[in-house]
Amino acid sequence: MGRGRAPWPGAAGRRLLLSALLAVTAATALSCADPPGPEAGSGTGGASPEPPSPGEACVSGVGHWARALLDGAEPYGDYQSMGLSNRQYDILREVVAAARDAVRVQGDRHARELTDRQVREACEKEYADGAPDEGGWR
């Protein structure tokens, strides 16, 4: 037997095949493993946040559009294209009308405070039980 030669015929091919199988097995095991992340119970996991309550969603949507309209934005289509329900759109119109009056009388800062307060109060009232007061589309 010379130096660098396999001890028996076909041994080099078997070693190559064994190495390839081990590499494929290791790669498969690594790709199927859980990604590294926080330890269980750490409280900082990747769990999805809770969806907002109907009242919070109302405050967010109506508040966004009220501020945008007061800043001079053009109304965007109808209430549905704004992501609002019919009742939320009613709240928006009431709040924006009151805020525009407040701008004329008391200034922009007061109007913004009034808007935030009225949106929050109207949405809390509308969704006090977790759902709109009347009908599925209200």
Give the 3-state secondary structure of 88-128. Answer: HHHHHHHHHHHHHHHHHHHCHHHHHHHHHHHHHHHHHHHCC
Q: Is the pLDDT of residue 96 over 80?
A: yes
Average pLDDT, the chain: 79
Give pLDDT tens digits for 34-80.
555 555 555 556 778 888 889 999 999 999 999 999 999 887 788 89
Q: Is the pLDDT of residue 118 over 60?
A: yes
* Higher per-residue confidence, 91 vs 132: 91
* Higher per-residue confidence, 21 vs 60: 60
